[in-house]
Amino acid sequence: MEQDLENEQAQLVRLYADVATVQVGDRMVECTIRGRLFRDDPPAVGDFVQIEQVGEGWAIKGILPRKSVLARRAAGPSHRKQVLIANIDQVIVVFSATLPALTLPTLDRFLVVVEANELLARIVINKMDLASRDAITALLQPYVDAGYPLHFTSAETGEGLDELRAGLAGKESVLVGPSGVGKSSLLNSLYPELNLDLKVGRLSDAYGKGRHTTVGGFLIRLPDGARVADTAGLREVGLWLVPPDELPYCFPEFEPYLGKCQFNNCAHLTEPGCAVRAALDMGEIYPSRYESYTKLRAEATESWPRW
Ligand code: GDP
Ligand code: ZN
């Protein structure tokens, strides 16, 4: 019986320092992580893992290949990638229409990190009960034109929640965004059953405490096949570094022009014959988005020593 657990699909759903909770079918199994097995690349929330019985307990002995990761690349000499969530399908970038104010340069930062990880982004503007829809719609036009799915929601009134739930169903998602925009409120309003379900009950415990630990994280499995992940490390995702040369590819609307500049190492800043700047002059790229690009490029160049 116990041996059977070793052959079933097992997913890491909660992590505290070197202890992981692994979900195997309906069972939650506490597993230790032996550091020496995973020195450079430890298991992350969302990983499918192999587990083995060690004495009375269980341990993770291997990680199955990941289909995707959301990883942080630290500043410093190594620039090693630290995987915070594995196997996610999409990143839900949550902002509020107001309180705190909608700051587009910060939204651009979050989107760049999602793109750098080659993940899909979905934009959610919450607290729409407090704002004028017309004004917010106009502000978000550059993102709709760039192809990002956009949701207007209110965790308070329920506006837009059915549509967002449909966008989450059957997928593994992670919510990111500044604090106070309503990420927790949205999850509660989207899935009121979260606190009732026994299995999720354990996780909602993690939801209360895990939020504030620096190393923890967890994954909630929902009845409609949705999985929603959260780790404290994702909070400041907007401040992660992206290598300067990768940055142009993190703005989807630049894509048609890349490779068409006079110089093939064009940074799209002041070089002559730049196709990106030509598109900007023609009104095909929004000035606010280009401005974010130049700002992030300057930051990245400064903090990214040459390899
Ligand atoms: P988080 O830090 O992103 O998880 O944000 P919270 O979920 O903790 O919400 C922060 C505050 O905003 C709380 O006081 C919520 O009650 C409030 N809030 C969240 N969503 C909405 C909304 O859609 N409308 C309004 N008016 N308030 C909201
Ligand atoms: Zn260029």
Pocket of ligand 1 contains residue 126 by CB under 6 Å: yes
Higher pLDDT, 152 or 73: 152
Pocket of ligand 1 contains residue 188 by CB under 6 Å: no
Higher pLDDT, 165 or 3: 165
Out of 129, 154, 185, 231, give the residue to mutate to test ligand 1, the one with the largest number of ligand atoms within 8 Å of its CB: 185
Pocket of ligand 1 contains residue 100 by CB under 6 Å: no
Q: Which atom of ligand 1 is nearest to the CA of 153?
A: 23
Asked if 23 and 221 count as a contact pair (C-beta separation under 8 A), the reply is yes
Categorize the per-residue pLDDT at 115 as very low, low, confident or very high, splitting at 50, 70 and 90. very high
pLDDT at 289: 98
Q: Determine the Cα–Cα distance for residues 295 and 160; give it in Å rounded to an integer.
A: 33
Asked if 23 and 39 count as a contact pair (C-beta separation under 8 A), the reply is no
Q: Residues lining ligand 2 (ion), CB within 5 A?
A: 261, 266, 268, 274, 276
pLDDT at 266: 97
Tell me which residue has its CA closest to atom 11 in ligand 1: 180
Higher pLDDT, 293 or 306: 293
Burial class (CB within 10 angstroms; exposed 0-12, middle 13-18, buried 19+) of 208: exposed
Q: How far apart are the first and last CA of the chain?
A: 52
Least confident of 148-152, 176-180, 267-271: 176-180
Pocket of ligand 1 contains residue 129 by CB under 6 Å: yes
Q: Which atom of ligand 1 is nearest to the CA of 99?
A: 12
DSSP state of 247: G
What's the Rg (C-alpha) of the chain?
21
179: pLDDT strictly greater than 90: no
Q: What is the per-residue pLDDT across 281-292, written as a single tens digit (0 to 9) for each?
A: 999 999 999 999
133: pLDDT strictly greater than 50: yes
Categorize the per-residue pLDDT at 123 as very low, low, confident or very high, splitting at 50, 70 and 90. very high
pLDDT at 77: 62
pLDDT above 90 covers a percentage of the chain that reads 62
Tell me which residue has its CA closest to atom 17 in ligand 1: 182
Asked if 97 and 124 count as a contact pair (C-beta separation under 8 A), the reply is no
Q: Determine the Cα–Cα distance for residues 133 and 178; give it in Å rounded to an integer.
A: 21
Tell me which residue has its CA closest to atom 5 in ligand 1: 182
The contacts of residue 23 (CB under 8 Å, 6+ apart) are: 10, 11, 13, 29, 221
Residue 139 sits at φ, ψ, to 5 deg, of -60, -30
Asked if 207 and 199 count as a contact pair (C-beta separation under 8 A), the reply is no
Closest ligand to 280 CA? Answer: 2
Categorize the per-residue pLDDT at 204 as very low, low, confident or very high, splitting at 50, 70 and 90. very low
pLDDT at 306: 59
Categorize the per-residue pLDDT at 111 as very low, low, confident or very high, splitting at 50, 70 and 90. very high
Q: Determine the Cα–Cα distance for residues 103 and 259; give it in Å rounded to an integer.
A: 31
Tell me which residue has its CA closest to atom 24 in ligand 1: 127
Pocket of ligand 1 contains residue 184 by CB under 6 Å: yes
- Of 258, 277, 269, nearest to 298 by C-alpha is 269
Q: Find the mean pLDDT for residues 23-41.
A: 88
pLDDT at 26: 85
208: pLDDT strictly greater than 70: no
Tell me which residue has its CA closest to atom 7 in ligand 1: 182
Q: At what angle do helices 183-190 and 161-168 cross, to 10 degrees?
A: 90
Q: Which atom of ligand 1 is nearest to the CA of 126?
A: 23
Tell me which residue has its CA closest to atom 22 in ligand 1: 127
Q: What is the per-residue pLDDT across 221-257, written as a single tens digit (0 to 9) for each?
A: 888 888 988 766 666 676 677 889 999 999 999 999 9
Q: Which residue in the block uniquely carries the two structure tokens 């829809």?
A: 133
pLDDT above 70 covers a percentage of the chain that reads 85
Q: Can you list the positions of beta strands (E) in 64-136?
A: 69-73, 81-86, 90-96, 120-126
When the pLDDT of each residue in the chain is averaged and rounded to a whole number, the result is 86
92: pLDDT strictly greater than 60: yes
Q: Determine the Cα–Cα distance for residues 86 and 70; give it in Å rounded to an integer.
A: 6
- Of 160, 164, 182, nearest to 94 by C-alpha is 182
Q: At what angle do helices 104-116 and 287-303 cross, to 10 degrees?
A: 60
